[in-house]
Structure 1
């Protein structure tokens, strides 16, 4: 494996394992077994677990946010929300994982400060995007944010994150589909 492939593989596996177990639920030994490299090789690419987690969060955030920003800006707000819900549904994968940043938010007390800030930024970016969509939906009379799109967006995003936990717990995607319905008129 070349260096870029090893590094990418480490990041991919770190994201997946943190989505299932959180920050405290894995070690470099776990990654070394998954990728087939020595733990010292992992330290070459990511000297500390903080470095690895921060890079994983940044890569995950960039990927998710680029998918969200790729949603057609000229689409009606209700359609944007439907596409966002489908994007969120992709996170579930085989049903054993949740959003990386949602999982890490549960570990917030043990996260290094830089990782905590990256997770907070991810939440804020999602909430800001949802607030814009909810404001548009109210103007189009298709979505109901109670006249407070910022507060409604925070509540809706929390509901999306919680729904992923419930989907995993109950092994059903139905919990996710119900979330967007809460703001439809």
Structure 2
């Protein structure tokens, strides 16, 4: 893959996660990278192409992370902790997660980008549901909800907490994330 294409993807994702999808343009990317707008359009003919590629790249990263955790034989606690650490890192970097960044602009996204975003959410929720169900079966997790509801509660809490942390001052984000884990302890 081209270095320029990679840089455009990386910067595009950063702009989405810090400014929002509709708040940046190709001019922002070309100015930052010191290239012409035509170069951005060469790799991504439309913003739809860029947005969809960014979501697909994040899906691939998530799937690679899960595969890596499985190959390293992470148990359910370690997997959930690793997932939550993604949000802690985003908080430290003052970035929203991709789902939280694209959600407010959902109605303005192309159908292709919407489909990929839905696919990403489905993949994450399916993994998290299976993780919670497996962890409960092994008496590692304790919760009363069905696993699908618990997965949605955890995921939506993480997404929303990053949104709110940009508004609410003095958030002890690590404690918030720890409370998610503490609520699952047997």
TM over 0.5: yes
Where 1:98 maps in the other structure, the secondary structure is coil
User: Could you tell me how far 1:14 is from its partner in structure 2?
Assistant: 0.1
The aligned residue for residue 83 of structure 1 is 82
CA contact (8 A) 1:19 1:99 kept: yes
The aligned residue for residue 176 of structure 1 is 177
The aligned residue for residue 155 of structure 1 is 153
The aligned residue for residue 15 of structure 1 is 13
Give unmatched runs, 5+ long, in structure 1.
none
CA distance in 1, matches of 2:80, 2:185: 10
How do 1:1-185 and structure 2 match up within 5 A? 4-72=2-70, 74-95=73-94, 97-146=95-144, 148-169=146-167, 170=169, 172=171, 173-174=173-174, 175-185=176-186
CA distance in 1, matches of 2:162, 2:52: 22
User: Could you tell me how far 1:147 is from its partner in structure 2?
Assistant: 5.0
CA distance in 2, matches of 1:87, 1:122: 15
Q: TM-score, normalised by structure 1?
A: 0.88
The one of the two structures with greater contact order (alpha-carbon pairs below 8 A, sep at least 6) is 2
User: Could you tell me how far 1:131 is from its partner in structure 2?
Assistant: 0.8
CA contact (8 A) 2:13 2:54 kept: yes
Distance change in 2, residues 1:111/1:137 (3 Å)? same
Where 1:72 maps in the other structure, the secondary structure is helix
User: Could you tell me how far 1:35 is from its partner in structure 2?
Assistant: 0.9
User: Could you tell me how far 1:81 is from its partner in structure 2?
Assistant: 1.5
CA distance in 1, matches of 2:78, 2:138: 12
CA distance in 2, matches of 1:23, 1:149: 32
Q: TM-score, normalised by structure 2?
A: 0.87
CA distance in 1, matches of 2:52, 2:183: 33
User: Could you tell me how far 1:93 is from its partner in structure 2?
Assistant: 4.8
Give unmatched runs, 5+ long, in structure 2.
none
User: Could you tell me how far 1:179 is from its partner in structure 2?
Assistant: 2.8
Distance change in 2, residues 1:165/1:69 (3 Å)? farther
How many pairs are equivalent? 182
CA distance in 2, matches of 1:147, 1:177: 19
